[in-house]
Chains A and B, each alone.
Chain A
Amino acid sequence: MAFDGMISDTNQQLLAGIAHEFKTPLTLISGLSSELQRAPVDPAQYMQYVQRIQFSSDRLLGLVDSVLRGYELEQDMLELQLEPINAQLIMEEVAHELEPHARKQAQLLSVKSRHKNTILADKGCLHAVLFNLLDNAIKYSNPETTIELEARLRRGQAQLVVKDRGAGIKRSDLKKLFAQFGRVQRPVPQWATTTGLGLYIAKQLTEAMNGSIDLSRHRDGTSFLVNLQLSHQLSLFEG
């Protein structure tokens, strides 16, 4: 499974996917920077351009971080630091980072938590998991819909839910959904070309944190369910 052992077609697929995914934010950073240098702009427009450059940079960093963590995991180089984490806060953080991406399609992001417990996770890895799942949900959801993130308790565990509002996934596509480079036949917008690694990385990172990812289909989309352990003190509180 290591990247070194992949056949060249797979390497090419990986590189092409990553390259394409990075092009939109890079084009925005480059183009908007050149516009700011070309001519004076009014303060409102200046702020809008700077925010778009900032968001595009953050999105690129998120993508790079995700790919690197996937690589470290493959190479057995990933060192996890499991610690108590407030689920609501990290969901809000990821939602805040990707909110401009959702706003482009007039989508809303809703974050809610039905409990105040903390979960046991590696902060960077959990961030990468939620970033990939939410990025994916934004791509697959229809315009003018609300994508929901929710933390809840299920069978003594924490469950973080990312619920998209799109065309859903065919039953026959479920198995390959988390496969490396697996990209299922959903009517994804063509611009939403992905590395095909996002869900695979999310699953591997979650399992590395002693958790699991389940999937629940519903009439108007799909929910990805990230199951993680509660942190020790609050597991006792919950019990």
Chain B
Amino acid sequence: MKHVLLVEDDLWLQDMYSRPVSELSGVTTHVASSASEALERLDSQDIDLIILDMFLQDHNGMELLHEIASYDDTRNIPVIVLSAVHKHDFAMSPKRWRQYNVIDHLYKPDVKPVDLSAIVTKHLVKSGAAA
């Protein structure tokens, strides 16, 4: 069983995106609606892939990325950024994204829930964590 953590603070978007991912065979979806909740999930569960909204209520996603990269047991978890802001509007170099192990950027208005489950499958396969 592979474990995907979706960090999204809008509870309706969280529900919308998590449902199709949960339907994937061999994948368990965990959800967090804040950075602190995400860190708790990471403490209690080995996670294979993180889907991260960059704008959260208690921290911004950048701080959470930094936190994840600070610990030995989490720094290698691949991260998919899911945001209402285009990749090029973040003040981040490609190198910096790579340092945070960000493997993909998804622009929310373009990504249907079912697309997300296909993208999750692709990355789990690519990272060798295929279900």
* Residues of A near any B CB (own CB < 8 A): 20, 23-24, 26-28, 30-32, 34-35, 38, 52, 104-105, 189-191, 193
Q: Within the assembled complex, what's the spacing in Å between the Cα atoms of A104 and B11?
A: 6
Q: Within the assembled complex, what's the spacing in Å between the Cα atoms of A30 and B115?
A: 12
Q: Which chain B residues in 50-66 approach chain A with CB under 8 Å?
A: 55-57, 60
- Residues of chain A lying within 8 A (CB to CB) of residue B108: 23, 27
B12 close to chain A: CB less than 8 A: yes
Q: Contact at A35–B20, with CB atoms within 8 Å?
A: yes
Q: How many residues of B contact A (CB 8 A)?
A: 21
Q: Within the assembled complex, what's the spacing in Å between the Cα atoms of A35 and B17?
A: 10
Q: Would you list 17 pairs from A and B whose C-beta atoms are within 8 A, ordered by A residue?
A: A23-B108, A26-B109, A27-B108, A27-B109, A28-B16, A31-B16, A31-B113, A35-B16, A35-B19, A35-B113, A38-B113, A38-B114, A104-B10, A190-B9, A190-B55, A190-B56, A191-B56
- Residues of chain A lying within 8 A (CB to CB) of residue B57: 189-191
Q: Within the assembled complex, what's the spacing in Å between the Cα atoms of A193 and B56?
A: 11
- Residues of chain A lying within 8 A (CB to CB) of residue B60: 190
Q: Contact at A34–B12, with CB atoms within 8 Å?
A: no
Q: Report A119 CB to chain B, min CB distance, Å.
A: 34
* Residues of B near any A CB (own CB < 8 A): 9-13, 16-17, 19-20, 55-57, 60, 84-85, 108-109, 111-114
Q: Report A81 CB to chain B, min CB distance, Å.
A: 36
Q: Report B20 CB to chain A, min CB distance, Å.
A: 7
- Residues of chain B lying within 8 A (CB to CB) of residue A27: 13, 84, 108-109
B16's contact among A20, A32, A105, A193, by CB below 8 Å, is which?
A32
* Given A23-B84, A34-B112, A35-B20, CB of A191 within 8 Å of CB of B9: yes
- List the count of A-B residue pairs having beta carbons below 8 Å apart: 56
- Residues of chain B lying within 8 A (CB to CB) of residue A28: 12-13, 16
Q: Report B35 CB to chain A, min CB distance, Å.
A: 10
Chain A interface, >50% SS class: helix
Q: Report A22 CB to chain B, min CB distance, Å.
A: 9
Q: Report B15 CB to chain A, min CB distance, Å.
A: 9
Q: Within the assembled complex, what's the spacing in Å between the Cα atoms of A54 and B30?
A: 27
Nearest 6 interchain pairs by C-beta: A190-B55, A189-B57, A23-B84, A34-B112, A27-B108, A104-B11
Q: Report B88 CB to chain A, min CB distance, Å.
A: 13
Among residues of A, the one whose C-beta sits closest to the C-beta of B114 is A38
Q: Contact at A24–B16, with CB atoms within 8 Å?
A: no
Q: Contact at B84–A31, with CB atoms within 8 Å?
A: no
Q: Contact at A191–B55, with CB atoms within 8 Å?
A: yes
Among residues of B, the one whose C-beta sits closest to the C-beta of A190 is B55
- Residues of chain B lying within 8 A (CB to CB) of residue A104: 10-12
Other 8 A-B pairs with CB < 8 A, given A28-B12, A30-B112, A38-B20: A23-B108, A24-B13, A26-B109, A35-B112, A52-B12, A104-B12, A191-B55, A191-B56
Q: Within the assembled complex, what's the spacing in Å between the Cα atoms of A152 and B94?
A: 56
